[in-house]
Amino acid sequence: MPGAHSVIHLLKAHASAHLGDRDLSPHTVAAAGYVSVRQLHRLFAAEGVTFGDWVRECRLRRSHCDLTDPGLGEVPVAEIAARHGFRNAAHFSRAFKARYGVTPGSTRRPPPVGN
């Protein structure tokens, strides 16, 4: 499909700019890119990922970055999750642990120092 690379780039750029928006959906991103929802799903599938999986991964990466930022150490985990579009702190914690193998809270804490 001619221009598919530029279209997926546009769709990803729009979604990336709106990751914190709880209303981010295939419909809103497709509309912003002037494509159908079906076409949006086809474009992401051609890259080997679903739109939902791609969004979750981006949100988790940004959350991980914030959790490891010492300047954000006083910001509650739930606020960081909400900032990146997670509607539910428990869901965020499960998704984060599934992705990184540790809880969001333990990501913040420095490893214990040996005696």
pLDDT in tens, 57-115: 999 999 999 999 999 999 999 999 999 999 899 999 999 999 999 999 999 866 566 65
- Residue 2: pLDDT band (50, 70, 90) is very low
Write the CA distances from 55 to 71, 88, 93, integer angstroms. 25, 16, 16
- Residue 5: pLDDT band (50, 70, 90) is confident
Q: What's residue 17's pLDDT?
A: 96
> Half-sphere exposure of residue 26, counting CA atoms within 13 Å on the CB side?
14
Residues 87/60, Cβ–Cβ less than 8 Å: no
Q: Domain ranges in the chain?
A: 4-101
pLDDT in tens, 37-61: 999 999 999 999 999 999 999 999 9
Write the CA distances from 85 to 6, 19, 22, 35, integer angstroms. 25, 6, 5, 23
Which runs of consecutive H residues, i.e. helices, occur in the chain?
4-17, 26-33, 37-46, 51-67, 77-83, 89-100, 104-108
CATH number assigned to the domain covering 4-101: 1.10.10.60
Q: What is this structure's pTM?
A: 0.88
Q: What's residue 1's pLDDT?
A: 44
